[in-house]
């Protein structure tokens, strides 16, 4: 084999390796036949880890559990909207489902980003805290942007597969989905991610998550 590969070949190999590493971290479906899955380091429906100490409600630390979050940062403890949380926090919906934008992390994309943008992988975690199976057909990341109209562009590429939600989440189980965005530099200082719960208008509110983009904006639900 030649000692020096062409630059394009070296770049392709490194990007495929990065994509495989992401899949190894995120593809973790359960064996119960429900198709439920968990994001990296997720602690399940109740989030057993990270429940002992105080929670930073403005910037949740990795490992913050759902129960700790709701006990210390839920609507009863704060004056903020019940359907809004920072990246890494949780929003509890009236139907017993909890959602979180668990991670917002720049990734090496296999295609060049537009000038002045950064490819970013967003992970949405959904937990069914109710007693009945929950269909996920209406849950999606609707937009990433700012109130002034600046928006990130959803992108896809076959060399960087993105995790999809299963059709149904069993009671007490969590699942996650991922979406790749091309994020303008104007959003690095602050953005909001809106999670739509149904494709049609309904009584369920959208969930909104706010954050900033650093070299690695990650958290564990």
What pLDDT score was predicted for residue 27?
37
Question: Which sign, positive or negative, has the C-alpha torsion 202, 132, 123, 74?
Answer: positive
Within a domain: residue 68?
yes
Within a domain: residue 1?
no
First to last CA, the chain: 45
What pLDDT score was predicted for residue 82?
73
Within a domain: residue 152?
yes
What pLDDT score was predicted for residue 199?
57
Within a domain: residue 207?
yes
Within a domain: residue 133?
yes
What pLDDT score was predicted for residue 78?
54
Within a domain: residue 2?
no
Positions in the chain whose pLDDT score sits under 50: 1-3, 5-52, 216-221
What is the model's pTM? 0.70
**For the chain, what is the domain count?**
1
What pLDDT score was predicted for residue 218?
40
Domain limits for position 99 = 7-218
Q: What CATH number does residue 130 fall under?
A: 2.60.40.1240
Within a domain: residue 192?
yes
What pLDDT score was predicted for residue 109?
60
């Amino acid at each position: 084999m030649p000692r020096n590969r062409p630059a394009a070949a070296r770049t392709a190999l490194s990007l495929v390796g990065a994509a495989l590493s992401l899949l190894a971290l995120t593809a973790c479906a359960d064996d119960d036949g429900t198709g439920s899955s968990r994001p990296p380091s997720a602690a399940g429906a109740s989030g057993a880890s990270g429940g002992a100490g105080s929670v930073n409600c403005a910037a949740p630390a990795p490992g913050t559990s759902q129960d700790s979050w709701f006990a210390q940062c839920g609507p009863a403890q704060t004056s903020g909207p019940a359907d809004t949380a920072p990246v890494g926090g949780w929003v509890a919906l009236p139907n017993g489902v909890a959602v979180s934008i668990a991670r917002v992390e720049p990734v090496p994309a296999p295609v060049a980003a537009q000038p002045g943008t950064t490819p970013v992988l967003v992970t949405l975690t959904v937990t069914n805290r109710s007693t009945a199976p929950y269909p996920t057909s209406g849950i999606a990341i609707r937009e990433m942007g700012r109130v002034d109209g600046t928006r990130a562009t959803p992108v896809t590429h076959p060399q960087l597969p993105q995790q999809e939600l299963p059709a149904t989440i069993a009671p007490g189980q969590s699942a996650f989905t991922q979406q790749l965005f091309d994020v303008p530099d104007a959003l690095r200082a602050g953005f909001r991610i809106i999670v739509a719960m149904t494709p049609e208008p309904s009584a369920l509110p959208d969930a909104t998550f706010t954050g900033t983009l650093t070299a690695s904006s990650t958290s564990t639900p």
